[in-house]
Amino acid sequence: MIKDDSAKPLSHNEVLKEADPILAGELASTLLDPEADRFSNDDGQFLKFHGIYQQDDRDLRKTGKKYMFMIRGRIPSGILSAAQYRVYDDLATQYANQTLRLTSRQSIQFHGVVKSGLGPLMKSINEALMTTLAACGDVNRNVMAPPTPITEPWMQEVHDDSQLLSDALLPNTPSYHAIWVDGVQLNLAEHQHHDDPLYGKTYLPRKFKTAFAVPPLNDVDLFTNCLGFIAIEENGKLVGYNLTAGGGLGMSHNNPNTYPRKADVIAYLERHQVEAVAKAVLTIHRDFGDRTDRKHARLKYVLEEKGVAWFREELEKRLGQALEDPRPYTFERQGDRFGWHQQADGKSFLGLFVETGRIKDTDQIQLKTAIRKVVDTYETEVRLTPTQNLLLVNIPADQIEGINQILAAHGVPTTHEKSPVRGATMACPALPTCGLALAESERYLPSLIDRIEGLLQTRGMSQEEIIIRMTGCPNGCARPYMAELGFVGRAPGKYNLYVGGNESGTRLNRVYQESVKDADMETVLGGILDRFKDGRHPNERFGDWSARVLWAEQEQTEA
C-alpha cells in the first residue's frame, strides 16, 4: 500500500518526476546549445539522476557566477581495473581541474568541469563501459563493500553480491544513453507513461544507500546506510547476512524533525535471498517515504516512526515468507590499512593515504602522476576505500621494488608516515564547489589537524589515534556523526563540535558545543584533551572517554 500524502502538497521534485518519468528534461537540447553555460534549475534536478551536479565556483561569486559541474562515477565496491583508472585519470586532466576526488562511497568525482567538456567527458566514460547513472538522485546509489583484498576465499562472494545489487537496483530509463551517448533529445510525449519496473513512475522519495560489511571490520560504516548486509560465515563459507535498515546521517540545523540515525539490525537471510530482500526494502521506502518534505524523506524516518516490528512485518509480507532472527556478529574497528601487506594468495597490496581524498600533484608530492605511472607500468588494480584512501592490490612480489621506486621518485611514501590522528580523518569537498556548504571543510581540515597534532604532542599523546571527520554543512557526507570527534559547518569559520563515536563505527556521537570559532579551536580542544589525558581509563579511546564522561555531564546539566 502506497503512503497517502494527499493531505500535503507534493514536493517540487515529485512534481518534476511525475511530469517527466524518463528524467530527460531538456538536457540534450541544452547540451547542444553553444550559447548556454548552464541548465535550468529544474533540469538541474534531472542531472542528478545522471550522476551530475550543477554548481558554480563560490570563490568567484563577487564577480559573477561561473557555472561548472561535478560528475560522480558509479563504481561498485570501489574496484577499478588499470584500464578503467586510466580513463578517470585522463578525463580529470582533459576536462576537470587536474584532480581526482575520492568519495566516502568508494567512487571518484570530477570537479570544475565546464559545460563544453561535459558531453565529451560523459561519452568517454560510457565508451569505456563505465557509467555515472544513479551515482546521484532519488535512487540506489553506489553499492559499497570492503575494499581490502580477500583473506578467505568466501569473501569474493561478498563482492559478487555487491555487484549483483548494483545491477539489480539500477533504474531503467532510456534517457541516459540517448543524451550522453547518442546526443538525442527524446520526445517526452512518447515516453509519458514510462514506469520503471522497480522504482515506479516517480522513483524514490529520496536517495537510498546500500553497503556490505565483513566482521570484525566495519570499514564501510555499515550503520549509516539505508540498507546493509553483515556477512555471516560458518565453517569457512558465506551462509548469509544479517540485514540492517534505516541508517542515515543527513540533518538540518535548527530542524528537530531531522536527525542522524543508526540502522537497526532486522533479521537474518540466506545468501540466495539478497536480491529479493534488497528490492523489498527499497520498495518499502518507495511506498512509505515522505514525498511532501525532502528533508524528511529518507528511509530512516520510516523506521523511526513506524518501528522495527512494523518494518519487519512489512518486509516479510512483501517477501511472502518469514525471516530468521539475526545471528551473532561482532564489529571491532573501522579504517584502512596503510603500507604494504600480504594477501591470502601470496600477493601483496599497498595502502596509500590520500589526504581529504584529493588525488593531485603538489610541489612536494606528485600523487596523481605516481599512481598513473604505477598503473601504466604494472597494470595494477586500484581499489577505493570508504574513508577516501586508495589501495593498489594483487601485486606480485617481483613488482614491489619497482612500485616503491616509482612512488619514491614522486615523493609518495609507501609507509604511513603521517600521525595516527591524521590517518583517521575525512572531509567533504565543501567550498568552493558545493552549493550547500556553510563553511570550509577539505581546504580547512589539514591545517586544523596540524594544530591538533601540536596539541597532542605537547600533552605527550602524539601517537594517539582519534577518528576525526569534518563537513561544511549538516548533511554529513563525510559521516561526521559517527566520528570520535566531528566538526560540522555552521557558518563561515564556525563549527558544531561532536564527540563520542567509537572505533567500531557502531555508535552515533552527540553535539558537545555549537558554533565554535576557528580562533577558539585550540582553547576548546586543548581543554578537552587535558581532561581526556588526566581522566581516561588505561588504553581508553577518546570516543569512549567522551561518551562516558562528557555525555554524562551533559545529561546531568539537562536534568
Residue of 105, 286, 434, 510 with catalytic role: 434
Catalytic residue among 101, 209, 261, 479: 209
State yes or no: is 473 an active-site residue. yes
Q: Which of 17, 38, 141, 479 is catalytic?
A: 141
Distances (CA, A) of 443 to 56, 428, 446, 456: 17, 9, 7, 22
Q: How far is residue 346's CA from residue 339's CA, in Å, rounded to a whole number? A: 16
Per annotation, catalytic residue among 473, 510, 536, 541: 473
Is residue 434 part of the annotated active site? The answer reads: yes
Does 66 qualify as catalytic in the annotation?
A: no
Q: Which three cell numbers stand for residue 551?
A: 555525555
- Known catalytic residue at 533: no
Q: Is 226 one of the annotated active-site residues of the chain?
A: no
Considering only CA atoms, which of 83, 51, 79 is closest in space to residue 145?
Answer: 79
17, 38, 72, 298: the catalytic one is 72
Residue indicated by cell numbers 570484525: 216
Do residues 283 and 300 lie in contact, with contact meaning Cβ atoms separated by under 8 Å?
A: no
Q: Which phi and psi (to 5°) does residue 440 adopt?
A: -70, 155
Contacts of 301 (CB under 8 A, 6+ apart): 261, 289, 290
CB of 150 closer than 8 Å to CB of 343: yes
Catalytic residue among 115, 207, 291, 368: 207
**How far is residue 136's CA from residue 71's CA, in Å, rounded to a whole number?**
9
Q: Is 72 a catalytic residue?
A: yes
CA distance 155 to 176: 33
Of residues 383, 477, 479, 541, which has the active-site annotation?
477
Pairwise CA distance, residues 522 & 172, whole Å: 51
C-alpha cell at 68: 561548472
Closest CA to 254 of 496, 500, 458, 550: 496
Contacts of 430 (CB under 8 A, 6+ apart): 437, 439, 440, 441, 442, 443, 444, 471, 472, 473, 489
Whether 422 contacts 355, CB under 8 Å = yes
- The answer to whether residue 136 is catalytic is no
Q: In terms of Cα–Cα distance, which of 81, 175, 92 is closest to 129? A: 81
**Residues belonging to the active site:** 72, 141, 207, 209, 428, 434, 473, 477
